[in-house]
Amino acid sequence: MERVYLFDTTLRDGEQSPGASMSVEQKCEVAMQLERLGVDVIEAGFPVSSPQQFEGCRLIAQRVKGVAIAALARAVEKDIDAAVESIGGAVHPRIHTFLATSPIHMEYKLRKKPDEVVEMAVRAVKYARSKVAEVEFSPEDGSRSELAFLCRIIEEVIRAGASIINVPDTVGYSIPAEFARFIRGILEGVPSMHKAVLSVHCHNDLGLAVANSIAAVEAGARQVEVTVNGIGERAGNAALEELVMAFSVRKDLLPFQTGVNTRQIWNTSRMLANTIGAPIPRNKPVVGENAFSHESGIHQDGVLKKRETYEIMTPEDVGRDASHIVLGRHSGLHGFRNRLAELGLKLEEDSLKRSYERFLAVADRKKEVYDDDLYVIVSDELGHGVETFTLDYFNIQSGNLSVPTATVRILVGEDRREEAATGDGPVDAIFNAIDRALGTSTKLLEYVVQAVTPGRQAIGDVTVAVQVDGRKFVGRGASTDILEASAKAYVNALNRWKALQTSMKGAQ
C-alpha cells in the first residue's frame, strides 16, 4: 500500500465558497478537528488578504502541532513575508506559492511573457525557501498549460528549492483519462521530478474532481488537495471523504492508503456544515442523510438478509453511529464535557460553560437531546467572540386575520436599540424590525429551514443569505423556536457583514 498525503484546504479554498467564511475561533476549532481526522497538511489561509486571515493562520500555527501548516502566497515578496510571519510558530511550516502558467492566464491576467513568468516563479520560490524549509509551488491553471512549458517551469522551481509541485485543475476542465496522461507527461518530462512530491488540486465544475484526483494518483501523484464536504470556489473541490473512502472500499484496484481516521469523517463533516451554515445535501456521498438509507422494498429485503447486498461500506466505517439520546436536563457539566470529547468537540473553559448554559436551555424545551443538537449548540458558541450585534429580545404578533408585527431589541455594545416593523409574514416582520434597529438595508437571497433531529421538539436550523453593499453574507441560527432561529440567523449574517467592514478598515 503506497502512501498518499492529504493536503486539506478547507480553511483556504473551501472558505472561498460564497458564504463559507469563518471567524478566527471557528477556523481554529475546525483545524483541531482536521488534526484529529488525520490529514497531513492544513492550509490555514491566505494571510496577506486580510487581518482576519493573518490572525487565523497565526493562531492555527500556534495551536495545531501534529500536522504541517501551510499558508498561501502569490509569487511576490509581500505575500511571502506575510505568510512566513503568520505561520512562523508552526512546528512544520510550509509556504504555498502560486503563479499562473496557462497561455490564457499569462496573456490576459498576468500580461507577461513565458520567460518572465519563469523568472517570477524561480525568484519567489528562492525567496520563500530562504525563509522556511518547505516550499510548495502551484502553476495555476496547470491543466490548461502547455505541457512543454509546464515541465520547464517545474524543473526550474525544483532547482530553486520547491519540494512539492502541485498541479491544479483550476477550472475543473479535465477528464480523468486526459488528466492521468498529463500527470504522466510531467513525471516523464521533468528530469528532477524525483526530488519533489507531485500533488494535484482538482475542482469539481464537471463533477469530476474526485475521479480526476484518483486518476492522478494512479498515474503517480502522491499528494492530493481536498476539502471537507467538497466545499470551495464555484462547484467546489475534491471531497476528502469521497476520496478517502474510495481508497478504503476499492483496495483491490487502488492500493493506496492515507493517514485519515475514517471514523472521524462524520464528526468532521457535521462540524463544518454547522460552522458555516451549509446543510449537507441528503444525497451527498458518504456523509449525506440518505447515504445509508434504503427506500426500495427490494433493497430493504436485501440489506436485512445481508448488508453487503446494497452497502459497500457501513455507517460505522465513517463514524456514523445511530444518533442516540445522550443527555437531558439533569445532566451535569462533567457529563456534557465528556460527551463533547467523545464527539471530538473541545472548547475552552469559558466557551464550554456558555455552551452548557445553552444546552440546559435546550434541554428545558425538549426532553431528548441528540448528538446533532450538540453540534449545533457548540458551533453557535464558536462564533461567540465576533458578535457586534446581539439579539436580546423579540416579540411577534401574527395571525391569518392580522398584519404580522415584530418588536426587537438589539444590543450594539452597551447600546440597546428597540424597533418594531410589519411584514408579509412573521419572519419578514422580524427582519424588517432588525433592519430598522440597525439602519441596515439588505436583500434576502436565500432562506432555508431544516430540523436538526427528529420529533416535534427538534431544534430548527435556519440559514439565510443576504446581500449587503453588493456582497453576499450567510448566517445561521438554531432554536426550538423557528422564529427565534430566523432572527438569530439574520443577526449572524449582519455580524459577518460588520466583521468584514472592520477587517477592511483595519487593512487600510
Report phi then psi at 5, rounded to 5: -90, 140
Sorting pLDDT into bands at 50, 70 and 90, what band is 298? low
Q: Which tens digit of pLDDT belongs to each residue from 473-484? A: 888 888 889 999
Strand order in the sheet with 402-412: 389-399, 402-412, 415-422
On the question of pLDDT at 102 being above 70, the answer is yes
- Taking the C-alpha atoms of residue 304 and residue 126, their distance in angstroms, rounded to an integer, is 61
Q: Which tens digit of pLDDT belongs to each residue from 70-101? A: 999 999 999 999 999 999 999 999 999 999 99
**Adjacent-strand bridge partners of 169:** 202
Q: Which tens digit of pLDDT belongs to each residue from 344-403? A: 677 778 888 888 888 888 888 776 777 777 877 776 666 544 568 999 999 999 998 899
Q: Which tens digit of pLDDT belongs to each residue from 153-201? A: 999 999 999 999 999 999 999 999 999 999 999 999 999 999 999 999 9
On the question of pLDDT at 487 being above 80, the answer is yes
**pLDDT score for 325:** 53
Sorting pLDDT into bands at 50, 70 and 90, what band is 303? low
Assess contact for 164 and 134: CB atoms under 8 A. Answer: yes
Q: Which tens digit of pLDDT belongs to each residue from 6-40? A: 999 999 999 888 777 788 888 998 999 999 999 99
Contacts of residue 402, defined as CB under 8 A and 6 or more positions apart, other chains included, come to none
Q: Which tens digit of pLDDT belongs to each residue from 429-464? A: 999 999 999 999 999 998 989 887 777 777 888 989
Contacts of residue 105, defined as CB under 8 A and 6 or more positions apart, other chains included, come to 140, 141
Mean of all residue pLDDT scores within the chain: 90
pTM, two decimals, is: 0.82
**Adjacent-strand bridge partners of 110:** none
**pLDDT score for 66:** 95
- Taking the C-alpha atoms of residue 198 and residue 217, their distance in angstroms, rounded to an integer, is 9
Q: Identify the CA nearest to 137 among candidates 124, 152, 148, 119.
A: 124
